[in-house]
Chain A
Amino acid sequence: MNKMTETHEKSLKDEPQMLSVVNRRFFLRSAGVATAMGAFILGACKDDDPVMEGDMTVDLGSGDVGVLNYAYALEQLEAAFYTQLIATPYSGMSDMEKTILTDIRDHEIIHRDFFKKALGNGAIKDLEVNFSSIDFSKRDSVLGAAKLFEDTGVKAYNGAGKLIKSADYLLLAGKIVSVEARHAAVIRDLLNPKSADFAGDDIVDNNGFDMAVAPSDILAAVKGYVKTPISGNNVGK
């Protein structure tokens, strides 16, 4: 249980009331989710691997909870990025850009806090981010990173959809992914206005499909931006 205790230390400490009536009801709304939750706890307990002192690896868990934690991890990353972006605006940020980027920051914070609330005691801890590769003073660097994060969010949600067992959670993911796609399109249009880039051929294929990428590949792709090691081996399983 070491690993689990560690994983949940933060949320338990910070949010002692987190498993409120509302959240319990949310979790137990479908038998499938209750099962997923059970599997998650069992999975964590069965994990006999010795957890080394100082191993800060966050395990996203399994089943639908794993998928929700996966989404929560990505939203944490995005929210942290835009919070920094607005706190230290790049030089020459126009009023229009500031309005757009502040809106996006708020959406990502809402997504992050929603997942935290929804996951309650099952939520992973706060991740430590690493944006050292992004020059927040330069528009191209910042918007380039924003484009990457938004496109990554879209392909991550698209790839996670089929891993979700509960129709309620699938719909929730659907409600969020289209907002991420709107962000991606608008950011891309800021970088190259009135061009085809908002849904460019670099990201949308010959069938007119956005990309769909599995959690393992997404986690590998964002690894450089997160200090906290993340294990997503059982997401959706």
Chain B
Amino acid sequence: MDIFKLIDDFQKVDGDAAGRLEYASRRQFMSRLGNKVATVAAPMAFASVVNKAFAQSAGAVDVLNYALTLEYLEDEFYKAGLAASGLIPASDRALFAQIGKHETAHVAFLKSALGSKAIAKPNFDFQYKGAFADVFTNYKTFATVSSALEDTGVRAYKGQAGALIADPQILEYALQVHSVEARHAAVARRLVASLTGNAAMKGWITNNEGAVPAVYAGEENMTQGGVDLNGLAGKSKAAITEAFDEPLTKEAVLAIAGPFLA
């Protein structure tokens, strides 16, 4: 499977496509979701809105499939890690079980939302072509890859927010997943810091501090909204870069994720 092929740039969605996202259908969707609908009903409603609003838009489906690809990757990673005997110490199982549970839920949600348009699960190479050869036998490697995957997820979702601006409800779902990935990333990073004795690695990203350099490229950005933040509030560059997480383009994410595909 060629990951690059399955990704059609969502930005190809032109004005016409945006126009198809009729306000009326959104409103109907919103009211159907209503005040109190069991969360399990959401995938059905979501599937409905995706099919209605994006029936003609291959680009929108592809951006959701892009998310699904990353979620498949994470889900399979934690399933394999939790199944590997002697890998995750008993003291840390609750943490990884919770992360894995969320990734499984994200996959289920996206698959249900996309229906027949959902891509099939790719085969993965978690050894990353040899770079993480001991990923399921060495806990440090496993935790390191976990932190890198979660931070990549945060940056990937963030990078798609603007592309979803034309459809508020789908944007909101993406944001709701995005912040959960950030919660995961924070605890995974702190775990790696304690396992490796790297005090510079915190739950937040100082400059471009992280275990896998490509994942953190650009995190040291000091310009926000066109404003140079050097010296803001008398705080250090380290603190300022920690206060803002940076997005990654789809291309950059795929370059990172590519070697995970078997």
Q: Which residues of A contact B (CB under 8 A)?
A: 22-23, 25-26, 29, 100, 103, 106-107, 109-114, 117-118, 154, 157-159, 161-162, 164-165, 167-172, 174-186, 189, 194-196, 198-200, 204-212
What's the nearest-Cβ distance from chain B to residue A204, in Å?
A: 6
The interface residues of chain B lying within 8 Å CB-to-CB of A205 are 39
Contact A110 B235 (CB under 8 A): yes
8 Å CB contact of A179 from B104, B181, B244:
B244
Contact A209 B173 (CB under 8 A): yes
What's the nearest-Cβ distance from chain B to residue A207, in Å?
A: 5
B43 contacts partner chain A, Cβ-Cβ < 8 Å: yes
Contact B95 A194 (CB under 8 A): yes
What's the nearest-Cβ distance from chain A to residue B225, in Å?
A: 5
The interface residues of chain A lying within 8 Å CB-to-CB of B182 are 177-179, 181-182, 185
Contact B204 A199 (CB under 8 A): no
Interface residues contributed by chain B, number (CB under 8 Å): 64
Contact A167 B158 (CB under 8 A): no
The interface residues of chain B lying within 8 Å CB-to-CB of A118 are 224-225, 227
9 closest Cβ pairs, A-B complex: A208-B105, A162-B168, A208-B102, A181-B182, A196-B98, A178-B182, A182-B186, A167-B162, A185-B183
CA distance A112 to B231 in the complex (A): 14
Q: A103-B202, A106-B236, A189-B187 are in contact. List 12 more A-B contacts (CB 8 A).
A: A22-B228, A29-B226, A118-B224, A161-B161, A161-B175, A178-B245, A185-B203, A199-B180, A207-B108, A208-B101, A208-B106, A209-B180
Query: Given A106-B235, A199-B98: A178 and B224 within 8 A (CB)?
Result: no
The interface residues of chain B lying within 8 Å CB-to-CB of A174 are 158, 161, 175, 178, 245, 247
Query: Given A22-B226, A29-B226, A181-B186: A186 and B169 within 8 A (CB)?
Result: no
Contact A176 B243 (CB under 8 A): yes
List, sorted by A's number, 10 A–B pairs whose CB atoms are closer than 8 Å: A103-B202, A107-B242, A110-B232, A117-B227, A177-B178, A177-B179, A182-B204, A194-B94, A211-B176, A212-B172
Interface of A is mostly: helix
The interface residues of chain A lying within 8 Å CB-to-CB of B239 are 103, 106-107, 110
CA distance A169 to B225 in the complex (A): 8
What's the nearest-Cβ distance from chain A to residue B42, in Å?
A: 6
User: Which residue of chain B is the closest to A195 with respect to CB atoms?
Assistant: B94
Query: Given A113-B233, A195-B94, A208-B101: A178 and B158 within 8 A (CB)?
Result: yes
8 Å CB contact of B227 from A114, A164, A211:
A114
Contact A170 B162 (CB under 8 A): yes
